[in-house]
Amino acid sequence: MKRYLFFFLLPILLTSCAHVLSKEYVQKATTGVSFVQIEENPDAYAGKTFILGGTIAVTTDTKEGSEVEVVENPVDKYGNITDPDISEGRYLIETMKHLDPLIYRKGRHITFAGKLIGSKKKMLDKMEYQYPVFQAEQIYMWRTIRNYPPPYPYYYDPFFAPYPYYFYDPYWYGPYYSWPY
């Protein structure tokens, strides 16, 4: 019995803890550094590889490729976004590839591995904000989950019968409520 349970649970255990990025970037990534430390002193960590995640704010095309502005969200050791409602700031991802702004649109969640190449000042609404800038090496876009309503009827009724099968009472459906005596 234990053998069968082991073979049943083995595929679940192997796939449930898989990292979303490739193994080489996971091993190269710098750990133990918070996003606040990167944001305060980007020059100290320049050239190091990080794994970060977040929610896309804006994707713009440039001459060299694309630039993605991301609102940082915390990630666990596997690259999964743990809480999309918590953020310590924003950062920019630069890539040589063209990323379609319709696919990489506002509100989508991404996890990426990339090197910190410096910082850039840009306007964020009416204030000047200093963004850490990363050169993307690998990007993983999370799928959007669509919740569809259940089909009609929305609830289970054991006495429900569709149109041709309901009980017909000519007195009830007539213009007057007449009771047969």
Tell me, what CATH number does 110's domain have?
Answer: 2.40.50.140
pTM of the model as a whole: 0.71
Q: Is residue 164 part of a domain?
A: no
Calpha distance 113→152 (Å, rounded):
45
pLDDT score for 26: 87
Q: Is residue 151 part of a domain?
A: no
Our count of domains for the chain comes to: 1
Would you say residue 127 has pLDDT above 60?
A: yes
Measured CA to CA in angstroms, residue 151 lies from 10, 144, 148, 156, 162 at distances of: 35, 21, 9, 11, 14
Q: Is residue 118 part of a domain?
A: yes
Domain holding 57, by residue range, is: 19-141
The residue with greater pLDDT, 170 or 45, is 45
CA atoms within 13 A on the CB side of 100: 3
Q: Is residue 179 part of a domain?
A: no
Q: Lowest-pLDDT range, 52-61, 79-88, 152-161?
A: 152-161
Would you say residue 177 has pLDDT above 50?
A: no
pLDDT score for 178: 46
pLDDT (mean) for 72-93: 91
pLDDT (mean) for 44-61: 94
Q: Is residue 47 part of a domain?
A: yes
pLDDT (mean) for 10-19: 59
Q: Is residue 172 part of a domain?
A: no
Are β-strands 127-141 and 90-95 bridged in parallel, bridged antiparallel, or unpaired? Answer: parallel
Q: Is residue 5 part of a domain?
A: no
pLDDT (mean) for 153-176: 53
pLDDT score for 101: 93
Would you say residue 120 has pLDDT above 90?
A: yes
